[in-house]
Structure formats: C-alpha cells, structure tokens
Amino acid sequence: MTKSIGKIASVIGARPQFIKCAALSKELRKGHEEVIIHTGQHYDYGMSEIFFQELSIPQPDYNLNVGSNTQGRQTGDMLSSLEDVLLKERPDLVLVYGDTNSTLAGVLAASKLNMRIAHVEAGLRSFDRTMPEEINRVVADHLSSLLFVPTTNAANNLHKEGIFEGVHVVGDVMVDAVLSNLAIARERSTILERLGLAEKDYLVATIHRQSNTDDLSALASTIGAMGRSQRKIVFPVHPRTRNRLISAGMWDDLPPNILTTEPLSYLDMLRLMSSADKIVTDSGGIQKEAYVMKVPCITVRSNTEWTETIEDGWNVLVGSDPQRLLDAIGSFRPTRPQTDPYGRGDAAANIAKVIDGVSELHEGGSPEPMVANHT
C-alpha cells in the first residue's frame, strides 16, 4: 500500500513561487510537516528575502544558493543539491510550482528517487517549445502524480496529452495571494507617494524573458515604443534586463517618460499595478495578476499560457512589433466583463483538501477529491 502523505518537501526558487508558497504553506502546515527548499534561483534581497518577510513565509529549511547561470548549468547544480536534500529528508510528497528551472530540477530529482510529485499550476501550455518554461511545464506534468490545475482549459490540455489520473481543478493560488494581500498593500505601501504618482495616470512595465532581453533589437524596439507613447511608464527593472541595457549602452539613454526602479516588494508591486492605467509585460504571473486586479494588460509576447485573459478581452498580445505595442498603449481597452475562470481565492484550501484526502485514502478512508471531468 502506498504510504500516506505526512512530510511534504516544497521546492521554490523564484518570485512567483514565493508568493504561491505563502498562500499554500499555511494550509499544508495544518495537517502535514513541510520542509521548504529554496534553490536560490532568485537570490538577492529585492527578488527573494523581502518576499519571505512581507508574506510571513517560514524561512527555508534549506537554501541551495545556486545563483544565476546558463539554463543547463543552473538546473544541473539544483539537481545535484536537491538529490542530497531529498535523500536526507525522505518526504512523502515533493511539491513544485509553475515552470521555472527550480520546477524542472525538483521533478527530475524526485522522479529519479521514485518520490511522489505534485505540480501546482499544472496543465498550462503556450504551445511554444522554444520557450524554456514550456519544456519545464510539460516535463513536470508528465512526471507528477498529483496535478493541481487552475482552470478547465488547463485540465483539457492534460487530457489531450493523455493525462487523466490525479488531475484536480482547484483554482489559482495566485488569486488567493492577490485577494488576501491587495487591501494590505493599499494600506501599507507608499510606493505611489514615493514616486509621485497619481491613480490611473501611469503604466507599469516589466520585461525580463530571454526572448525579449537577449535580442537587443527586440529590447530596443520595446523601449523605443514605450518612449514614443509619451505616457508615464514605471519600469521595475529585472537584474537580467538591467545588465543587458547597461552592456548595450542603452541604460543612460532611456526615454525620459520611463521611470526605472529596482525590483519592488510584493506589496509595493501590488499597489503599483492595481493603480495603473495599463500594464505592459512579458511575465505570465503578472498577466494573471493584472487580470485579477482588473487592469488592462499588454503582453510583449506572441503567445501566452494564460489564454483565458485573451479570451475575456483583458489582455492583448503584441509580440515584438513596436507599432502594435505603441497602438495598444494608446487605444487598448477591455470591452466586456470578466468570466473569472481562476477561482474565488480558495485554491490553497482546495489543494490541501486533496492532499489530505490522499492521506486518508491510504489510511483506509474514502475521500472525494475534486477530479476534473474527463470530457
């Protein structure tokens, strides 16, 4: 008989995973022992430590300190260190989030050790295999035995790939985080006052994906279009993007309407985005956060894993075309209500309920997990 789930190892390493972990960890610890393993993929204060402080995430039991590197070397360093930790801790379940190198390393290490894996945010597909994140998603889903999907679209993606067992439609953990922290952010954050901003009088931009930063012509075109818009644009700059701008000699010549900042804390970012007129991004997580906060989103990509935001008309894809970006900054507006496909902010409780049910099942109980329909 399969062992019930007592100890859970949560593998995290990047900003979105810290946010999701904050919501889910509280629920998991009501009935299980949790060991948090921080890979160190995001490692400086502004991208890591401040999230643990603001969101009251338990300090990691392990920090692997892998730092930045190429895709292969970073994943390899994580894999080696994770194997050592998992062999020491022997968890009953290894839980991974999203689609980063930390996700990939977590599922590879656990699967090689014949450990059960749960994937939070399973089933997402951009259908672009040139994206490292897409490879990570597919591998994680095919190696996991519990797949916690945010939407029925995500469940259908898994069904098309032949994955039916262990699929649970639970809603989106990021919605939990936004709904539980937005009021706190509006009360505590002084980011608008510090930057001299007025409600809905500015845009927020985040650009960090390799497809947009490694191609200097694409990066220059995006910056140029934002400059020509003549709108006030607040640009919290990811370390990778900053390094590329500096190395290309572009950092000191940014358009005057673009206000750069260091990476912001979660509460500051929520306050900034919720009060923006529009958001320009290439981030999957921020597309979804913008949707939840009902802020129009312009995505500097040719595809998205969050297809519901497009279908609802609250997100528009502009690819790497600077004219489309400029036009969207000027004229894009949603024209219909949202359908709210990502749940009601109870995804963490739903995930914990499923995991509790699995434990009860292997102890002789008969739970009723929320398995997606196979139609």
Look at the block and give the residue holding tokens 């009021």.
183
Q: Which token pair is 305?
A: 């894993």
The active-site residue out of 208, 238, 362, 374 is 208
Instruction: Give the count of beta carbons closer than 10 Å to the beta carbon of residue 194.
Output: 10
Query: Could you confirm whether 208 is annotated as catalytic?
Result: yes
CA distance 97 to 20: 8
Helix (H, G, I), strand (E, B) or coil at 318: coil
Q: Which token pair is 95?
A: 């839980």
Distances (CA, A) of 219 to 206, 212, 237, 296, 297: 12, 6, 13, 22, 19
CA distance 185 to 77: 36
Helix (H, G, I), strand (E, B) or coil at 301: coil
C-alpha 251, offset from chain centre: 27
Nearest to 49 by CA among 39, 37, 59, 64: 59
Q: What length does the chain have?
A: 375
Q: Which token pair is 291?
A: 């949707």
Q: Which token pair is 85?
A: 């930790």
Active-site positions? Answer: 208
